[in-house]
Amino acid sequence: MKKTDIVYATPSQVKVVPHFDLMSHPRRCPWYLLPVEWLLALPEAIHIVRKIHKVNMEQFKSPYLILGNHNSFFDFKVLTKAIFPHPSTYVVAIDGFIGLEKLMRKVGCFGKRKFVNDIVLVRHIAYSLKKLGVNCTIYPEARYSLVGTTAILPESLGKMIKMLKMPVVTLITNGNHLRQPLWNQSHKRKLKTEATMTGLFSLEQIEKMSVDEINAKLKEAFFYDDFAYQKANKISITDPHRAEGLEHVLYRCPTCGAEFMMESDHDRLWCNHCHKEYIMSEYGELLAVDGANTFTHIPDWYEWEREMVRQEIIKGKYYIDIPVVIDSLPSANGFYRFGEGRLTHGEDGFVLSGNFRGEPFVFRRRVADNYSVHIEYNYANKGNFVSISDNDDTYYLFPQVTPDIVTKIHFAVEELHKIYQVQEKTDEK
């Protein structure tokens, strides 16, 4: 099946189909496939990536753990150029294997269900580094950045690094979000990007540092802001469609407060409630057509929305109850559609429910289970989705009302989890 295919099934029918094998060890890419990998990645990477800066890399020799920021599929091509001619294994989400599982496994990819704790993953990473003797690449943000800034990193990352006892390198790319933002996949911009590859932790440093110190250093190393980078480097984007899709991430009007009333076309973004209108400049700033500017810097608007959701949670006003179409992804064979169900989300976490051809279905995820969540816009021409998983299945949920509510849900998941963590630490005292 393809990602775009719609095949109906009941939960009991999906339960008995073969599920994705998360246990198989990663493989080293065979020598005869490496030239193919290079051919698919290097020509575009050489053409697009202006420079890969290397910092403190003299003492770092393969194999090492590579942690990269994630803004587009092009990140993999940048990585190929950065580590050439060395191979790597890669942690890839299950949907990345659809229709290509045999080849993906052969070139070193191994699967992961997003935002699910998985000790097997750590074993696979250790196997890559220590048994296969090759680099292993992870994109710990676990999804494309929504506005070209750092997404939340899991606290378990520091623990994993301590357990692995292997050198760690970061690869932070600037410009990939500007080139093809998640909210506008239809118009790839013609611009150069650059990356910085840094030898972050030697084995000796890891042994001396605490988990908290490692996580703090990772957070510092992963700071990036593509819109600030654009402005600082005077990168002009004259694409006439440069603002199209911004309403997916900037769904709330800062002038009147209305949600899901934003709309865009070409280089303009406006609110259909109060009619405040902005033009996106060629340097990525949002400038008001009339009156005072509100947020000229897109990430500032985005973080304001986060704070509004947090305040709703604190005041006990946040609760989502919406109809969703449910697609199940048990394996890389493709999606199975249950039909329309219901999704609720609040201080008790997610509850997904429905009745499909007489079969009742309920799936729950507690606030403690998800520090973040995966969302995308117009996925495979099916619409915006939010996905939730356990180790057996991943459910792609397509809202049947206000599709941009997925962005609000993702804020709520992260803020609810932060509040939960604070409360947990308080209770421990």
- Asked if 154 and 264 sit in the same domain, the reply is no
Average pLDDT over residues 361-387: 96
For position 428, what pLDDT does the model report? 67
Out of 208, 232, 256, pick the residue that ends a domain: 232
- Asked if 70 and 140 sit in the same domain, the reply is yes
- Tens of pLDDT along 357-370? 999 999 999 999 99
Q: What is the DSSP string of 67-104?
A: EE--SSTHHHHHHHHHHTT--EEEEEEGGGGTTTHHHH
Q: How far is CA 131 from CA 21, 28, 60, 310, in A?
A: 20, 10, 18, 45
For position 233, what pLDDT does the model report? 96
Whether residue 240 lies inside any domain: the answer is no
Whether residue 120 lies inside any domain: the answer is no
For position 1, what pLDDT does the model report? 78
For position 78, what pLDDT does the model report? 96
Out of 314, 340, 357, pick the residue that ends a domain: 314
Question: What is the number of structural domains in the chain?
Answer: 3
**Percent of the chain at pLDDT exceeding 70:** 100
- Asked if 421 and 342 sit in the same domain, the reply is yes
- Asked if 73 and 211 sit in the same domain, the reply is yes
Domain housing 363: 320-428
Residue 374, pLDDT > 80, answer yes
Amino acid (1-letter code) at residue 404? D
Out of 264, 281, 314, pick the residue that ends a domain: 314
Residue 291, pLDDT > 90, answer no
For position 188, what pLDDT does the model report? 85
Burial grade of 109 (CB within 10 A; 0-12, 13-18, 19 or more):
buried
For position 187, what pLDDT does the model report? 82
Residue 310, pLDDT > 80, answer yes
- Tens of pLDDT along 131-147? 999 999 999 999 999 99
- Asked if 41 and 185 sit in the same domain, the reply is yes
Whether residue 358 lies inside any domain: the answer is yes
Tell me if the bond preceding 35 is cis, omega within 30° of 0. no
Residue 426, pLDDT > 80, answer no
Nearest to 177 by CA among 215, 210, 148, 138: 148
- Asked if 43 and 138 sit in the same domain, the reply is yes
- Tens of pLDDT along 79-130? 999 999 999 999 999 999 999 999 999 999 999 999 998 889 999 999 999 9
- Asked if 252 and 310 sit in the same domain, the reply is yes
